């Protein structure tokens, strides 16, 4: 019994620590209730005992801008509010008086949806890539066609979708919690009939550090692989001096060994620390 109490106290202390560390994370209580319906008719089961899940495709978030002075919502081809145009500040920067929509959530997955619009270049139905996000805060999304859309309220924990915008890269942030806000809109430099939407993308500092470490590891692994392949074809197990690496000891008669490859990778890591 003493050991059980000790374990319970340890778990309670850890949950308390996590809650203090990040108050925005809701840590569910442990459900000790065992529901056994093996001897119950399905008609007699109380549905309120369960949490309802989404069964339709998630509502979609829209990247919109509006004037913070008159609250005029900009159309797709509007880049500023006509009544309250941008103001040039003393430092030369422009203040647009615009505020953008935002969302806060975790990147869950991506998929490709086939729309009912025809692509004039191919004659096929257009396919649109979307990201599925799990909301971490309450905000507004929409359902239905854009000309008949219905506003819906998204609660924390609900899924919603976000179009895969060219200036909002989320490929490396799967599983990460992000904060996104529309920061502006501008003309496309090469396609006059299109616009580009600018975003402010923020992640937790710990997530950013982790992603940077992953990129570093991948870069070093790829460089070591390329070097290993190069070493395997070098006569006598020597690396080109032009690479800035010291020559390896002569390889045995049966060719470059695993030890030579390991040493080559070590030399690469030691000689080019600033390349990553």
**DSSP per-residue string spanning 169-230:** --GGGTT-EEEEEEEEEEE-SS-TT-EEEEEEEEE-HHHHHHHHHHHHHHHHHHHHHHHHHH
Distance CA 101, CA 160 (A): 14
| Lookup: tokens for 78 | 């509007």
Is 2 a member of any domain? Answer: no
Is 17 a member of any domain? Answer: no
Is 39 a member of any domain? Answer: no
**Based on the domain organization, do 106 and 165 belong to the same domain?**
yes
The pLDDT confidence band at residue 271, using thresholds 50, 70 and 90, is very low
pTM: 0.58
The pLDDT confidence band at residue 265, using thresholds 50, 70 and 90, is low
Domain region containing 125: 59-203
Residue 15 has pLDDT above 80, yes or no: no
Q: Which residues contact 167 (CB under 8 A, 6 or more apart)?
A: 196, 197, 198, 199
Maximum mean pLDDT: which of 1-5, 137-141, 212-216: 137-141
Is 265 a member of any domain? Answer: yes
Is 181 a member of any domain? Answer: yes
- What is residue 231's predicted lDDT score, i.e. its pLDDT? 65
Residue 70 has pLDDT above 70, yes or no: yes
Is 20 a member of any domain? Answer: no
**Based on the domain organization, do 269 and 170 belong to the same domain?**
no
Give the residue from 158, 180, 203 where a domain finishes: 203
Give the model confidence (pLDDT) of 180-235 as tens digits: 999 988 888 888 778 889 999 998 888 778 778 887 888 888 887 777 667 666 54
The pLDDT confidence band at residue 107, using thresholds 50, 70 and 90, is very high
- What is residue 254's predicted lDDT score, i.e. its pLDDT? 47
Is 35 a member of any domain? Answer: no
- What is residue 219's predicted lDDT score, i.e. its pLDDT? 83
Is 54 a member of any domain? Answer: no
**Based on the domain organization, do 77 and 161 belong to the same domain?**
yes
Give the residue from 185, 203, 221 where a domain finishes: 203
Give the model confidence (pLDDT) of 143-167 as tens digits: 987 778 899 999 999 999 999 998 9
The pLDDT confidence band at residue 124, using thresholds 50, 70 and 90, is confident
Give the residue from 175, 203, 231 where a domain finishes: 203
The total number of structural domains in the chain stands at 2
């Amino acid at each position: 019994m003493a050991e059980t109490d000790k374990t319970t106290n340890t778990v309670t202390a850890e949950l308390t620590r996590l809650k203090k560390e990040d108050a925005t994370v809701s840590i569910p209580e442990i459900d000790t209730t065992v529901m056994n319906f093996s001897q119950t008719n399905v008609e007699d089961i109380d549905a309120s005992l369960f949490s309802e899940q989404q069964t339709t495709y998630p509502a979609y978030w829209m990247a919109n801008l509006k004037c913070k002075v008159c609250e005029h919502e900009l159309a797709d081809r509007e880049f500023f509010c006509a009544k309250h145009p941008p103001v040039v500040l003393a430092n030369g920067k422009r203040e647009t008086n615009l505020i953008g929509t935002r969302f806060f959530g975790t990147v869950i997955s991506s998929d490709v949806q086939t729309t009912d619009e025809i692509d004039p270049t191919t004659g096929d139905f257009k396919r649109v890539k979307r990201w599925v996000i799990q909301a971490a805060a309450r905000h507004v999304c929409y359902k239905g066609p854009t000309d008949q859309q219905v506003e819906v309220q998204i609660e924390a924990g609900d899924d919603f979708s976000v179009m895969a915008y060219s200036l909002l890269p989320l490929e490396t942030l799967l599983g990460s919690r992000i904060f996104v806000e529309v920061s502006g809109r501008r003309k496309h430099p090469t396609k006059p009939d299109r616009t580009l939407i600018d975003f402010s993308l923020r992640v937790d500092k710990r997530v950013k550090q982790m992603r940077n470490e992953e990129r570093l590891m991948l870069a070093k692994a790829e460089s070591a692989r390329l070097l290993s392949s190069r070493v395997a074809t070098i006569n006598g197990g020597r690396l080109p001096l032009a690479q800035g690496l010291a020559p390896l000891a002569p390889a045995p008669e049966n060719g470059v060994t695993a030890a030579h490859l390991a040493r080559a990778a070590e030399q690469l890591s030691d000689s080019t620390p600033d390349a990553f």
